[in-house]
Amino acid sequence: VGIFGNIQQQTFEVVYDVAGGKLGIGAGGCS
Amino acid sequence: KEIASESLTESTHFHTVPLTSLFPTTTHCHQPHTTHASKGLRRGASSLKVVHKHGGCSTTLPKGKAANTPTLTDILKQDESRVNSIHARVNSARIDNLNAVSGVRKKKIPDSKAAVPAKSGTTLGTGNYIVTVGLGTPKNTLTLVFDTGSDLTWTQCRPCVKSCYSQQESIFDPKLSTTYSNITCSAAACSGLTSATGNNPGCSSSTCVYGIQYGDSSFSVGFFAKDRLSLTATDAVDNFLFGCGQNNQGLFGNTAGLLGLGRDALSLVSQTAAKYGKYFSYCLPTKRGANGHLTFGKGAAAPGSLKFTPFATDQGASFYFIDVQAIAVGGKQLSISPVVFKSSGTIIDSGTVITRLPPAAYSALRSAFRQGMSKYPQAPGLSILDTCYDLSKYTTVSVPKISFVLNGGVTMDLPLVGILLGNGASQVCLAFAGNGDASD
């Protein structure tokens, strides 16, 4: 299985809408 | 015209930066003017500050030599053992699913054969993003690693019947908390430990006992308990089920334990479903970033640029699966058959450091990246990273941009910190690795 690691997630806003079955991604969430 | 279009391509498809920006001389904490919480949280949301465990902003953990901060090689090695345990867990869950569907009992890789036991829980040592919470009444402050790749929240507990490793804050003492109680062996929650830890619970004088082992043979064993978990100064979760570790050994750094955010019923996300609606978000800051956050509930008005991709079909274990559809390097989409990603599946994991790709995808990424970096001298590899450069003779560098395309047209244009990882200017590496074998 491929794994999207935390280095590549840095500074993105990552939203887990587990109940809604979807993942949100937004650029520039933090520094 | 030629030069103009060349430089245009450079700027649109390359990150061109001063070398110094890759290696800040100080690891001072970069205090931003706004934080997530200050943007005004929606009612009912709880936001915790997230910092990098080894960065300049982790106030609770000692820094530098005192903290025997692991070297980059240590972190990469721990990361590798975590990935092995994740592969073992996913394969084991897939074989279970296969057996359930086909009725034919496919042989599971015996634990001794699997790189690591296919138990729940994955190497903690690399988990390098931490939050601070309160436990018990009166509140005890604890710094925990937060991990979407595991489910059970645990912390070390006095009297440390067998062993406790040294942690920064004082070890939680259940005797001093008026809201603490052990879970009995007959309680339904006790049997829930099997799926949350991969081990059947034990029982010791009618108290439920948990055990969780991590990929690098780190482990925590202790009493299954409940107490008040304070996520922020104003928000707390009563009767929160967690592991009170009496025998804890392994690579846990100076943290007090782990905050499990997986999909199992015992994870913090599931236990607080009524309060936060199984909705949480985070932003992982760079080493010097100070405005990272972990927010439960619909947090601040999500940045306008937020785009959603559906979670991929559940492939067992309690990981969060996503659908990667393509990768682009330097503005060109790589010719990787969609089957490559479809057959391997991809999980998103806050506790794994380096992204792992199926071998065919990694070799396509690597050769395109090497082409874009051909003007720079190569340097020796670093542990699992096999594409490194010696940039010490340059004042500015131009690095091909890398983007991931997820199902639903979601494109992630990686910032430079998500592309390169360096051991100093003479060894700057592509921060990706390939899985050893497509059947991994």
Contact list in B for residue A14 (CB cut-off 8 A) is 281-284, 348
Please judge whether A6 and B351 are an interchain contact, meaning their C-beta atoms are less than 8 angstroms apart: yes
- Provide the 8-state DSSP code for B289: B
Is B125:B250 a contact under the CB 8 Å cutoff? yes
**Between B413 and B63, the higher pLDDT residue:** B413
CA distance B362 to B357: 5
- Cβ pair B346:A24 closer than 8 A: no
Point out the least confidently predicted range of B24-28, B303-307, B401-405, B430-434. B24-28
* Closest CB from B36, B309, B417 relative to A11: B417
- B106 pLDDT exceeds 60? no
Greater model confidence, B271 or B72: B271
pLDDT at B377 over 60: yes
**How far is residue B253's CA from residue B120's CA, in Å, rounded to a whole number?**
20
CB nearest A28 (choices: B278, B303, B320):
B303
d(CA B256, CA B432): 29
Please pick, among B79, B151, B227, B349, the residue that the annotation labels catalytic.
B349
Q: What ipTM was estimated for this complex?
A: 0.98
What are the tens digits of pLDDT across the range B168-201?
Answer: 899 999 999 999 999 999 999 999 999 999 899 9
pLDDT at B275 (0 to 100): 94
Q: Is the pLDDT confidence value at B125 over 60?
A: no
* Residue B349 annotated in active site: yes
Kindly report, residue by residue over B1-57, the tens digit of the pLDDT.
555 565 655 568 999 999 888 765 545 565 544 455 555 566 678 899 888 776 656
Please tell me the distance in Å from B218's CA to the nearest CA on chain A: 21
Minimum Cα–Cα distance from B147: chain A residue: A6
Bigger pLDDT: A12 vs B290: A12
**Among A3, A11, A18, whose Cβ lies nearest the Cβ of B283?**
A11
The minimum CA-CA distance between B104 and chain A, rounded to whole Å, is 23
Q: How confident is the model at residue B66 (pLDDT cuts 50, 70, 90)?
A: very low
pLDDT of residue B12: 87
Residue B103: band (very low, low, confident or very high) from pLDDT cuts 50, 70, 90? low
The DSSP secondary-structure symbol of B247 reads: E
**Shortest alpha-carbon distance between residue B111 and chain A (Å):** 18
Q: Which of B30, B282, B353 sits opposite A7 (nearest CB)?
A: B353
A10/B285 Cβ within 8 A: yes
Interface test with A, best of B348, B403, B416 (most A CBs within 10 A): B348
SS3 state of residue B386: coil
Phi then psi for A11, rounded to 5 degrees? 70, -5
Put simply, the answer to whether A10 touches B284 (Cβ < 8 Å) is: yes
Task: With beta carbons less than 8 A apart as the criterion, state whether B409 and B422 touch.
Answer: no
- The answer on pLDDT for B112 being more than 50 is no
Distance between CA atoms of residues B129 and A6, nearest Å: 9
What pLDDT, on a 0 to 100 scale, did the predictor assign at position B97? 75
What percent of chain B has pLDDT above 70? 80
Q: Rounded distance, CA B19 to CA B239, Å?
A: 51
Of B79, B147, B151, B227, which one is the catalytic site residue? B147
The pLDDT confidence band at residue B215, using thresholds 50, 70 and 90, is low
Length of chain A: 31
Mean pLDDT of chain B: 84
Residue range B81-95, pLDDT digits in tens: 778 878 877 887 777
H-type alpha helices, B237-396: 268-271, 273-276, 338-344, 359-372
What are the residues whose beta carbons fall under 8 Å from the beta carbon of B109, sequence distance 6 or more? B88, B91, B92, B95, B118
Q: How confident is the model at residue B287 (pLDDT cuts 50, 70, 90)?
A: confident
State whether B284 and A13 contact (CB < 8 Å): no
Provide the 8-state DSSP code for B67: G
Q: What is the pLDDT of residues B225-243, one digit of tens each?
A: 999 999 998 999 999 999 9
How far, in Å, CA of B123 to CA of B191, rounded?
A: 24
Instruction: Please determine, for residue B73, whether its predicted confidence score (pLDDT) is greater than 50.
Output: yes
Residue B58 bridge partners (DSSP): none
Nearest CA in chain A to B310: A22
Least confident of B64-78, B269-283, B386-400, B402-416: B64-78
Query: Residue B305 has what pLDDT?
Result: 78
> In whole angstroms, what is the distance from residue B259 CA to residue B80 CA?
21
Residue B113's pLDDT band, with cuts at 50, 70 and 90, is very low
